[in-house]
Amino acid sequence: MRRAVIAVALVVAALAVFVVGRSLAGEPFQASSVGTRYAATVLIDRPTTGRASVEVRLDSGDPDTVAVSAVMSSMGHTTPEVAARELEPGRFLAEGELFPMTGAWELSIRLDGPAGEEVLVVNTLITG
């Protein structure tokens, strides 16, 4: 009887981890980063592997160009830089293959304009 109770408890725990993990995969990601020349908020509607859309909203500064790349230092992975297009003043969108696998990624936002070039960094967890 004790083994049956333990087995049921393990199954319930496994299901809880699966359900929580699946619900986190759909949660949008938002983070801000401040540098000396620029400040930005990064939004990822679906932080999943494969093709991603990363929106960069400028909180301060006026760059001419914005580009995004990602690094997973724990695995030695890096992705090519993806140029962002300006949707409207202060709002840019980069779309491309940024996260080839799940895990902790460092997202670099390179901004370049009259104030100079600067790279802002945010960390994100890609869940699925």
Full set of structural domains in the chain with CATH: 27-126 (2.60.40.10)
Residue 118 pLDDT class (50, 70, 90 cuts)? very high
* This model's pTM is above 0.95: no
- pLDDT value of residue 27: 86
**pLDDT number for residue 19:** 37
- In the predicted model, what is the mean pLDDT of residues 88-101? 95
Range 16-49 burial, b when 16+ CB lie within 10 A, else e: eeeeeeeeeeeeebeeebebebbbbebebebbeb
List all residues 6 or more positions away from 65 whose beta carbon is below 8 Å from its beta carbon.
83, 84, 110, 111, 112, 113
19-71: per-residue pLDDT in tens? 344 444 568 999 999 999 999 999 999 999 989 999 999 999 999 999 999 99
Res 80 pLDDT > 80: yes
- Quick check: 106 pLDDT over 50? yes
More confident residue, 10 or 90: 90
| Highest mean pLDDT pick, 9-13, 21-25, 109-113 | 109-113
Greater confidence (73 vs 11) lies with 73
